[in-house]
Amino acid sequence: MADPAVMAGGFSAVVGRSGGGKATSSPAENYQLARRRTLQVVVSSLLTECGFESAEKAAVESLTEMIQSYISEVGRCAKAYCEHTARITPTLSDTVVTLIEMGFNVNTLPVYAKRSQRMVITAPPVTNAPVIPKALIAGQKRTHPSHIPSHFPEFPDPHTYIKTPTFREPVSDYQVVREKAASQRRDVERALTRFMAKTGETQSLFKDDITAFPLIAARPSSIPYLSALLPSELELQTLEETDSSEQDDQTDSENTLYFLNYDDPGADKENSMLPPGGVVPSVKASEENMIDNPYLRPVKKPKVRRKK
């Protein structure tokens, strides 16, 4: 009764209806249409039972909708109650609790069921239950280990959790590698610049088609020398990479004075991390004694002597 399919059916029935009664329909839709039709019959028979002789189609539709909602809600709630108690199939008591919760007097139900003038409704036409499309089979579906009770939900489809490493013979042909690297870089660059051009201001070389060969607009900067002189982060990265590999032979050949060799790289790092505008020599506080340079000397406090 409170089958999830009902809810789904209700939903898709609504969808199907709004779709404008298509002639062709899938098996799942057929199944749901059949159920809906049964509900309409039920509503009609109830109306007849109540003494109506005719009803407008719209009224029947509304009532059908109401009854469907009601049943759906009963089903949903019953399901919720059952899951709340860690089961997967609702029992009678779940349904009863649900009905009570919805303000229905359960005790009247047996009487109502046994009323005399009730009409018997034929079973809905047999339609095939909708086939759930099979998920991709990937690997073996796992069963529960022994310590997990069987009423617990099953493992989801294996494709959701297993990993399948894919191997392809690595391309070793130098030419292809270079070719690939080159076209990849070019594609990335092109895409990136196109994106930048699309999202920002552009300049064009042609008057007839301003979208052909868009140029990112030149924008003046307030301190143009910084970007022009400082290596970009990318370049710095490469430099670090190549440096670390070649540092050894470099230090040997280039810096003959090992005193400098000693403190230079360190100082370099310190300085590169300095905030802009930071005064460097203070970093080498320890060396200040060695280096006597007037610019490193501390600034004097104003003397007591006043200017005349």
Partner 1 sequence: MHEVKMNRKKDKGFESPRPFKLTHQVVCINNINFQRKSVIGFVELTIFPTVVNLNRIKLNSKQCRIYRVRVNDLEAPFIYNDPTLEVCHHESKQRNLNYFSSAYTAAVSAVDPDAGHGELVIKVPSELWKQGDEMNVLKVYIEFSLDQPKGGLHFVVPDVEGSMAERGAHVFSFGYQNSTRFWFPCVDSYSELCTWKLEFTVDASMVAVSCGDLVETVYTHDMRKKTFHYVLPIPTAASNISLSVGPFEILVDPYMHEVTHFCLPQLLPLLKHSMSYLHEIFEFYEEILTCRYPYSCFKTVFVDEAYVQVSSYASMSIFSTNLLHSAMIIDQTPLTRQCLAQALAQQFFGCFISRMSWADEWVLKGISGYIYGLYLKKTFGVNQYRHWIKEELDKMVEYELKMGGVLLHPTFGGGKDKDNPTPHLHFSIKHPHTLSWKYYKMFQCKAHLVMRLIENRISMEFMLQVFNKLLSLASTASSQKYQSHMWSQMLVSTHSFLKSISNVSGKDIGPLIKQWVDQSAVVKFFGSFAFNRKRNVLELEIRQDYTSSGTQKYVGPIKVTVQELDGSFNHTLQIEENSLKHDIPCHSKSRRNKKKKIPLMNGEEVDMDLSAMDADSPLLWIRIDPDMSILRKVEFEQADFMWQYQLRYERDVVAQEESILALEKFPTPASRLALTDILEQDQCFYKVRQGACFCLAKIANSMMSTWTGPPAMKSLFTRMFCCKSCPNIVKTNTFISFQSYFLQKTMPVAMAQLRDIQNLCPKDVLNFILDLIKYNDNRKNKFSDNYYRAELIDALTNSLTPAISISNEVRTVDNLNGDVRLILEEITRSLNMEKLLPSYRNTITVSCLRAIRMLQKNGHIPSDPSLFKSYAEYGHFVDVRVAALEAVVDYTRVDRSSVELQWLLNMVQNDPAHYIRHKILSMLGKNPPFTKAAESPLCNEALVDQLWKLMNSGTSHDWRLRCDAVNLYYTLFGLTRPSCLPLPELGLVLNLKEKKAVLNPTIKPEQGPDTTEMTGITMGVHIPVMGFTSSLDEGLITMETVSSVSMSSGVAPPPQGLKRKLDSVVGPLGSSSPEPGQVLQEEDTSKKFKIRFNTVEEDEIDMESPHDSQAFIHHHLNILERPSTPGKEPPAVDQAVLSLPVTPLPSSFGKESTSSSKHSGDHHHHHHHHEHKKKKKKKHKHKHKHKHESKDKERDSHAFSNSPASGRSVRSPSMSD
Binders of partner 1 among residues 149 to 178 (CB under 8 A) are 174-175, 178
Of 179 and 252, CB closest to partner 1:
179
User: By three-state DSSP, how is residue 271 classified?
Assistant: helix
Please say whether the beta carbons of 141 and 157 come within 8 A.
yes
**Measured from the CB of residue 237, what is the shortest distance to partner 1 in angstroms?**
10
**H-run or E-run covering 46:** helix 27-50
CA-CA distance, 308 to 301, in Å (whole number)? 18
- What is the CB neighbour count within 10 angstroms for residue 295? 6
Site size for partner 1 (CB under 8 A) = 72
* Sign of the four-CA dihedral 259, 260, 265, 270: positive
**Measured from the CB of residue 285, what is the shortest distance to partner 1 in angstroms?**
13
**Measured from the CB of residue 238, what is the shortest distance to partner 1 in angstroms?**
6
Q: What is the contact mask toward partner 1 in residues 227 to 266, using x (rule: CB under 8 A)?
A: xxxxxx-xx--xx--xx--x----------x--x---x--
Segment 271 to 290, residues that bind partner 1, using CB under 8 A: 271-272, 274, 276-281
Please say whether the beta carbons of 55 and 41 come within 8 A.
no
Of 143 and 250, CB closest to partner 1:
250
Of positions 222, 256, 286, 289, contacts partner 1 by CB under 8 A: 222
Residue 215: φ, ψ to 5°: -110, 135
CA-CA distance, 240 to 257, in Å (whole number)? 23
* Sign of the four-CA dihedral 77, 81, 84, 87: negative
CA-CA distance, 265 to 181, in Å (whole number)? 34
Of 45 and 204, CB closest to partner 1:
204
**Measured from the CB of residue 169, what is the shortest distance to partner 1 in angstroms?**
19
Structure tokens given for 53: 């002789």
| Contact window for partner 1 (CB under 8 A) among 32-40, 69-77, 140-148, 215-223 | 215-223
Please say whether the beta carbons of 130 and 34 come within 8 A.
no
Of positions 125, 179, 184, 251, contacts partner 1 by CB under 8 A: 179
| Contact window for partner 1 (CB under 8 A) among 9-17, 78-86, 153-161, 186-194 | 186-194
**Measured from the CB of residue 68, what is the shortest distance to partner 1 in angstroms?**
59
Question: Residue 9, by phi and psi: left (phi above 0), alpha (psi -120 to 50) or beta?
Answer: alpha
**H-run or E-run covering 10:** helix 4-18
41 binds partner 1 (CB under 8 A): no
**Measured from the CB of residue 221, what is the shortest distance to partner 1 in angstroms?**
6
Of positions 22, 115, 163, 301, contacts partner 1 by CB under 8 A: 301
**Measured from the CB of residue 132, what is the shortest distance to partner 1 in angstroms?**
50
User: By three-state DSSP, how is residue 205 classified?
Assistant: coil
Structure tokens given for 284: 């080498």
28 binds partner 1 (CB under 8 A): no
Residue for token digits 């959701």? 160
56 binds partner 1 (CB under 8 A): no
- What is the CB neighbour count within 10 angstroms for residue 5? 16
198 binds partner 1 (CB under 8 A): no
304 binds partner 1 (CB under 8 A): no
Of positions 58, 120, 123, 223, contacts partner 1 by CB under 8 A: 223
Of positions 21, 103, 145, 302, contacts partner 1 by CB under 8 A: 302
